[in-house]
Chain A
Amino acid sequence: MTKYITYTSVFAIPIMITIILVHGYVKGVSMYDAFVEGAAEGFKTAIRIMPYLIAIFIAIGLMRGSGAIYYLVRGLRPITSLLGIPGEILPLALMKPISGSGSLAVLQDILVHNGPDSFVGRVASTMMGSSETIFYTMAVYYGTIGIKKSRHTIPSALVAHLAAILAAVFFCKILLSQ
């Protein structure tokens, strides 16, 4: 099963590219011109998102550099232990929505201290793969087009994130605990 998923993953992008090019050729599109014309747009977008990236990178950097994130984690511990989330994975659960590279460092730390094949290690690994860096993603996507009011995006994303954490604990318990 895992093997097949790996294969599809490796081939998905090349296949997507091939289909687009072959279809374009068959339909007689002047592909070189079309490609260059589309690619030019990429530069405009990159420059437009820069200020938003700087804003969010600095906010995340300050939270991490000052250690503020760890105080936040400590403050939220009572709530999460009430939900049956193992205390060891808490820093990851809280770091993941904020910073991708930060949470990778936390994951590494958890795996080194608890062992990657321990229950906590498995839950942490599952969680890392099944949830996203909410605030970062939002900053990039909404920033690019200049959205200032995100409405129900954050509440929905945070509930989904919580669901991912609880599901990770649940599935690791029933599928991987021999």
Chain B
Amino acid sequence: MNLIWFLMISFGIVVAIITGKTEIINQVIIKDSQEAVIFAIGLTGIMAFWLGLMNIAKKSGLINNLASLMKPITKLLFPDIPQNHPAISAIMMNMVANMFGAGNSATALGIKAMEELQGLNKNKAVATNAMCMFLVINMSSIQLIPLTVLKVRADTGSLMPTEIISTTILATAVSTIVGVVVCKLLEVRRR
């Protein structure tokens, strides 16, 4: 992350200087830092909502039920997470929200899952196997209705905006499977 961040910043600045667009650097710093704060604040409301609901689910025991129901899958993907740990239910809810394109709700639940996983982590600065696996699944996760894509297609005059839903589901399934397999392989190698 350190190297990537450094490369992105320096490459951007160098290109801006070479192409004579140095004033862009200032604009980006002002505009994007502000945008980041606005985004975080925008996330606060939906985050509070889902964490509030999850707290109800936790107290009622629903989360434990869900976790034991999902045991076979989670045992395979996340062998390091203890059974019935709250991380599992947060991961599951994030996946559901992701699949149905719930956007910021998914982000809120995902952050919650990450915090739970960090509680299990011995070395707080280094990602665990479970974190890598969760993120890879999250990034390539199946989205049933890619709403924004459908909107752009409709806006640009497509006769069949929805025809890409089937190909999207298939492609995303392939990428999730590949991601999980690669993640598992790299896990073993580095142990």
A interface residues with partner B (beta carbon < 8 Å): 1-2, 5-6, 8-9, 12-13, 16-17, 19-21, 23-24, 26-27, 29, 31, 34-43, 45-47, 49-50, 53-63, 65-68, 71-72, 104, 107-108, 111-112, 115-117, 121-122, 125-135, 137-142, 144-157, 159-161, 163-164, 167-168, 170-172, 175-176
A17 to B96, CA, bound (A): 12
User: How far apart sit A58 and B6, CA to CA, in the bound complex (Å)?
Assistant: 11
Contacts of B145 in A (CB 8 A): 5-6, 9
Q: B101, B155, B165 — which one has the most chain A CB atoms within 10 A of its CB?
A: B165
> Which of under 10, 10 to 19, 20 to 34, or 35 or more describes the interface residues of B?
35 or more
Output the nearest chain B residue to A25 by Cβ-Cβ distance: B60
Task: List the interface of chain B (C-beta within 8 A of A).
Answer: 1-2, 4-5, 8-9, 11-16, 19, 21, 24-25, 27-29, 31-33, 35-37, 39-41, 43-45, 47-62, 93, 96-97, 99-102, 105, 107-108, 110-112, 114-115, 117-118, 124-127, 131-132, 135-136, 138-141, 143-146, 148-149, 152-153, 155-172, 174-176, 178-179, 182-183, 186-187, 190
Compute the total of residue contacts between A and B using a CB distance below 8 Å.
366
Q: Are A54 and B126 in contact (CB under 8 A)?
A: no
Instruction: Using A21-B56, A27-B61, A34-B56 as known contacts, say yes or no to A159 and B179 having CB atoms under 8 A apart.
Output: yes
Q: A145-B114, A175-B166 are in contact. Are A140 and B62 (CB under 8 A)?
A: no
Option from B24, B40, B125 in Cβ contact (under 8 Å) with A65:
B24
Chain B: minimal CB distance from A14 (Å): 11
Given contacts A62-B9, A164-B174, A167-B175, A148 and B29 within 8 Å (CB-CB): no
Distance in angstroms from A168 CB to nearest chain B CB is 4
Q: For A104, give its contact among B5, B9, B152, B164 (CB under 8 Å).
A: B152
Contact (Cβ within 8 A) A131 B163: no
Which residues of the partner chain B approach A133 to less than 8 Å between Cβ atoms? 139
